């Protein structure tokens, strides 16, 4: 706890802490829609595919800025989604196989480029290697402010277009029938995933950012049957995980932020699986016991009555 307050005393750390929470919030929110559209793996692929895009963007411009990275990652994400649909359309492979191929080949290319950058002549290269697992403490004030603004925009879009995102997640055919531009909305969701990935890269890293898209959403689903509550809860779980990750990793030297953040999210997931009402394991077990007990009690009453009837006759 001492550490925690010490950290909040440092204005830079305060910003980083806030940035990580906002990042968790936005990926939790956007991840809910990916999860419900059964596109969780697509998020993972987009995250891994972002790495070569970012490396190339850096090699071309030589600057480390979120804006430049966003363009690189978006271009790579676009190529990756195109690759996936190309493979599923022109071969007999299913989507999961196509995702696997695209994910690993893009990531492989990213690692090669990353090594290249580190051994090459790129002056300002320090920190790019942190993109694999994230190092929140390495972020500077400007990064955090950009990250916060983008997170706010992302959450804002999701709440403005909540109705549309809900309908295309549940019944895209009906949405089309209403005249919604479903293709466009789907691309927007995909783009928002890429945005979440990019702003999360410094803090959490490309390898594990997808967990921050999936785990909070899956955990939140255990607690509610209402989409609005699920999205909010998922955002909160993401924010808490992000905050915890930033705090713990900054208090232990050289501990990357990504793994800690993901472990924190996993903790929430475990708690949800166990304790969630209705869907949770404990709730299911308790319900079964209750039903069993009341059934047996009822049966005993019936038997007792039948015996009474018999003894009378």
Partner 1 sequence: MKTLDKLHQHGAGGVKAPSGATSPLSVSGLSVAYQKKPVLRDVTFEVNEGELIGVIGPNGAGKSTMMKAALGLIPSISGEVLVYGKPCSEQRRLIGYVPQRESVDWDFPTNALDVVLMGTYGRLGWIRRPGAKEKAEAMECLRKVGMADYADRQISQLSGGQQQRVFLARALVQNAKLYFMDEPFAGVDAATEKAIITLLQELKKNGKTVIVVHHDLATVQQYFDSVLLLNVELKGFGPTSRVFTQDMLQHTYGGRLAFLDHTIAAGATEAHGGVSL
Q: Contact positions toward partner 1, by CB under 8 A?
A: 36, 38, 160-164, 166-167, 169-171, 173-174, 176-179, 221, 224-227, 229-230
Nearer to partner 1, 78 or 162 (CB): 162
What is the distance, to the nearest Å, from the Cα of residue 128 to the centroid of all Cα atoms in its chain? 22
Q: How far is the CB of 87 from partner 1 (least distance, A)?
A: 17
Nearer to partner 1, 56 or 176 (CB): 176
Can you tell me whether residue 4 is helix, strand or coil?
A: helix
Q: How far is the CB of 249 from partner 1 (least distance, A)?
A: 32
Of the candidates 107, 127, 134, 117, the residue with the CA atom closest to the CA atom of residue 53 = 107
Nearer to partner 1, 157 or 201 (CB): 157
Q: How far is the CB of 28 from partner 1 (least distance, A)?
A: 15
Q: In Å, how far are 9, 302, 304, 305 from 311, measured between CA atoms?
A: 82, 14, 11, 10
Q: How far is the CB of 272 from partner 1 (least distance, A)?
A: 14
Q: How far is the CB of 199 from partner 1 (least distance, A)?
A: 25
Report the alpha-carbon angle 262-264-266, nearest 5. Answer: 70
Can you tell me whether residue 128 is helix, strand or coil?
A: helix
Q: Name the residue with tokens 């071309």.
A: 60
Nearer to partner 1, 30 or 113 (CB): 30
Q: In Å, how far are 13, 39, 207 from 255, measured between CA atoms?
A: 15, 30, 15
Say which DSSP state 132 is in: T
Q: How far is the CB of 195 from partner 1 (least distance, A)?
A: 21
Q: How far is the CB of 276 from partner 1 (least distance, A)?
A: 12
Alpha helices (H) in the chain, listed in sequence order: 2-9, 11-36, 40-61, 66-90, 95-119, 141-160, 162-170, 172-177, 182-200, 209-221, 227-251, 257-275, 281-312
* Rounded-to-integer distance, Cα 152 and Cα 195, Å: 12
Furthest C-alpha separation in the chain: 103
Nearer to partner 1, 66 or 218 (CB): 218
* Rounded-to-integer distance, Cα 258 and Cα 47, Å: 13
* Rounded-to-integer distance, Cα 278 and Cα 111, Å: 44
Q: How far is the CB of 172 from partner 1 (least distance, A)?
A: 9
**Can you state the angle between helices 11-36 and 227-251, rounded to 10 degrees?**
140
Nearer to partner 1, 169 or 261 (CB): 169
Nearer to partner 1, 76 or 231 (CB): 231
Nearer to partner 1, 129 or 166 (CB): 166
Q: Name the residue with tokens 């750390």.
A: 13
């Amino acid at each position: 706890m001492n550490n925690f307050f010490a950290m909040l005393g440092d204005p830079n750390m305060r910003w980083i802490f806030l940035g990580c929470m906002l990042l968790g919030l936005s990926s939790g929110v956007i991840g809910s829609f990916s999860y419900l559209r059964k596109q969780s793996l697509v998020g993972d692929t987009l995250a891994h595919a972002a790495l070569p895009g970012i490396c190339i963007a850096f090699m071309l411009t030589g600057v480390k800025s979120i804006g430049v990275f966003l363009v690189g990652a978006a271009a790579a994400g676009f190529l990756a989604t195109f690759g996936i649909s190309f493979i599923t359309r022109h071969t007999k492979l299913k989507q999961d196989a196509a995702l696997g191929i695209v994910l690993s080949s893009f990531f492989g290319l990213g690692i090669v480029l990353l090594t290249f950058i580190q051994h090459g002549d790129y002056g300002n290269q320090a920190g790019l290697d942190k993109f694999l697992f994230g190092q929140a403490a390495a972020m500077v004030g400007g990064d955090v402010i950009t990250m916060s603004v983008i997170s706010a925009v992302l959450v804002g879009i999701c709440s403005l277009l909540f109705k549309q995102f809900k309908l295309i997640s549940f019944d895209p055919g009906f949405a089309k029938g209403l005249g919604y531009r479903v293709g466009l909305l789907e691309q927007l969701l995909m783009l928002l995933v890429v945005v979440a990935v990019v702003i999360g890269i410094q803090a959490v890293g490309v390898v594990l950012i997808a967990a921050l898209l999936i785990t909070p959403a899956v955990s939140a689903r255990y607690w509610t049957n209402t989409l609005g509550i699920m999205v909010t809860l998922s955002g909160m779980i993401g924010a808490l995980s992000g905050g915890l990750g930033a705090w713990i990793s900054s208090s232990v030297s050289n501990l990357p932020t990504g793994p800690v953040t993901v472990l924190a999210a996993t903790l929430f997931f475990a708690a949800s699986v166990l304790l969630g009402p209705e869907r949770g394991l404990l709730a299911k077990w308790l319900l079964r016991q209750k039903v069993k007990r009341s059934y047996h009690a009822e049966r005993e009453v019936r038997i007792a009555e039948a015996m009474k009837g018999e003894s009378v006759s």
